[in-house]
Amino acid sequence: MPEFRRLVDSRCELGEGPLWDDRTGLFRWLDIEGRALHEAAPDGSRYRARPMPDRPCSMGLCESGRLVIALPKRVVLFDLETGTIEPLADLEPDLPTTRLNDGKVGPDGAFWVGSMDERPERAPIGSLYRIGADGRVDRMIAGLRVSNGLAWSADGRTLYLADSRGPWIDRIAFDPATGSLGERVRMATLDDATGRPDGGATDLDGNYWSAGVTAGRLNRFDRDGRLAESFDLPVAAPTMPCFGGPERDLILVTSLSASVAPDRLAGKPWTGSPILFSPGARGVPVGRFADRN
């Protein structure tokens, strides 16, 4: 069993969107409901929490050094030095019950972000979007309940997509030059006991790592969808893993603490805090948004 440690002594209401910034040597993550952007070095030093003007749902790194951030109904560019926010795209103004959710920068240099229905029934009205540096928005996939789990293979030719209320994980052929999608294959269908799929990440060996939010576990699937390994985490509701560290051989996992039933907290002392461990694998580097500054 790996040795887990809490990166910082800070709890998120809804921790999400972790990423590794190789230029600054920092992990960054979000607290959606706490409206904050957090960052820290792998040893827990250089910790900082910044307030955000709205709920930050997901984010990606930019070539300019800024962050591209999905707020509930819009995508913006955020300057880490000045705090300046530049609007990029508005999404789903005609759907009052949805918000943006999981998002990442793809190998094509675009920001990919999905949406979800915030009502308890989670109607299948969410979509997956591709947003270019010029602000162009293309709807790529429709009919999602809770779009989640975005990650790409090391060669950039496979996109992984999950629906937390499907609950399933799909593997989709991807063109890294154009961002176009091809054949879509159902890779895994899950349940609450295994862990409904939340955020995801990929390693250099072709595995897909999925936060099993309902089971307090981090699940590793091979390319064919076989559950190869499952880690029992010291948090009740993990939301997303990301690889980081100078060698990308660490995994940071965010989690949520709000609305977790008391009976799920037994043996899960760090619920809501970011946890770190060495998984015995190296992660695929994340892309950077091809913005203009």
Residue 204 φ/ψ region, left for φ over 0, alpha for ψ in the -120 to 50 degree band, beta for the rest: alpha
Q: Which amino acid belongs to residue 227?
A: L
Q: Is position 134 annotated in a ligand binding site?
A: no
The answer on whether 219 is annotated among ligand-binding residues is no
272: tokens are 């809501």
Cα–Cα distance, 160 to 153 (Å, whole number): 8
Name the percent of the chain in helix, strand, coil, to the closest 5.
0, 50, 50
Q: Which of 138, 151, 275 is nearest to 203 (CA)?
A: 151
Annotated binding-site residue? 99: yes
Say whether 94 is catalytic: no
Read out DSSP for 105-128?
Answer: E-TTS-EEEEEEE-STT--S-EEE
For residues 275 and 251, what is the distance between their CA atoms, to the nearest angstrom? Answer: 8
Rg of the chain taking only CA atoms, in angstroms: 17
Q: What is the DSSP letter of 287?
A: P
Structure tokens at 200: 């995801």
Count of Cβ atoms closer than 10 Å to residue 265 Cβ: 15
DSSP annotation of 263 reads G
- C-alpha span between 44 and 37 (Å, rounded): 15
- Catalytic entry in 170, 198, 203, 291: 198
Cβ atoms of residues 153 and 140 within 8 Å: no
Residue 16 marked as a ligand binder: yes
Cis peptide before 167 (omega within 30 of 0): yes
**Annotated binding-site residue numbers for substrate:** 99, 101
Q: Which residues are catalytic?
A: 198
